[in-house]
Amino acid sequence: MIRPVGARPPGRELFVYLPPSYAATDRSYPVLYMQDGQNLFDPALSYAGSWCVDLALNRAAQRGLEAIAVGVPNLGEERIAEYNPFPGPGSADAQGESYLDYLVGSVKQLVDRTFRTLPGRESTGIVGSSMGGLISLFAFFRRPEIFGIVGALSPSLWFADRAIFDVAKTAPFRAGKVYLDVGRREGPPTVADTRTLRDLLEAKGYQRDRDLRYVEDKSGTHQESAWRRRFRSAVAFLLSPAA
């Protein structure tokens, strides 16, 4: 089931997927907060194709892995600024910190009031691609009391002179689930950056295939169709029980 939230937070309408068993049980569910909500469910709303998140989550549900997904639309021309947490020379207007405050203080509170959620960090994920992947990683490192799960598909690690690397290095280790990927057709520098972040995560204590899943997609490009394909396996890892 996908529906807009009835009472929306300021600024935008949210798209919410409810798992197949939601209406028939009184269970509470993990929640994935996902960037670029226009691109997640309905091809008619996406400029370059949908991720088909509902189909991927229905497939995961068949394996007993159910979750609520909240698609948070971007604001068009303000997208880069909202997903940019790094103010400074040569950087676009940075609204990333304010955007995270909005997600935590408005969106999450509304979703937790409206739906049966598991509100703890171990059941709260944040997912995105490209700049949406960058802000999702930033949220995982900077707001670990809220987000214990992160999915970063082709994150824009190069942005702001690779400032996310310093964030990853200095953030204290907190147990969680991290999915990180890249398409090899995105270019050698992009692949190298993603491998660098993988190595930083492993050095911090995230163990591959236990709480870190790293994927290099041989045919992957920087576009929605590649993220749609990889999200199917990403969500299965992110929702799987911790080892």
Q: Which domains does the chain have, with CATH numbers?
A: 2-239 (3.40.50.1820)
Per-residue pLDDT of the chain (243 residues; tens, 9 = 90+): 455 444 455 567 899 999 999 999 999 999 999 999 989 987 767 667 789 999 999 999 999 999 999 999 998 888 999 999 998 765 558 889 999 999 999 999 999 999 999 999 999 999 999 999 999 999 999 999 999 999 999 999 999 999 999 999 999 999 999 999 999 999 999 999 999 999 999 999 999 999 999 999 999 999 999 999 999 999 999 999 876
- pTM summary value: 0.93
Distance CA 36, CA 98 (A): 17
Distance CA 47, CA 39 (A): 8
The full DSSP string for the chain is -EEE-SSPPTT---EEE--TTGGG----B-EEEES-GGGTS-TTT-SS----HHHHHHHHHTTT---EEEE----GGGHHHHT----STTS----HHHHHHHIIIIIIHHHHHHS-B--SGGGEEEEEETHHHHHHHHHHHH-TTT--EEEEES--TTHHHHHHHHHHHHSPP---EEEEEEEGGG-HHHHHHHHHHHHHHHHHTPPBTTTEEEEEETT--SSHHHHHHHHHHHHHHHHSPP-
Q: Are 153 and 230 in contact (CB under 8 A)?
A: yes
Q: Which two tokens stand for residue 87?
A: 């103010």
**What tokens were used for 22?**
């939601």
Please name the amino acid found at residue 71. G
Q: Which of 123, 160, 131 is nearest to 227 (CA)?
A: 131
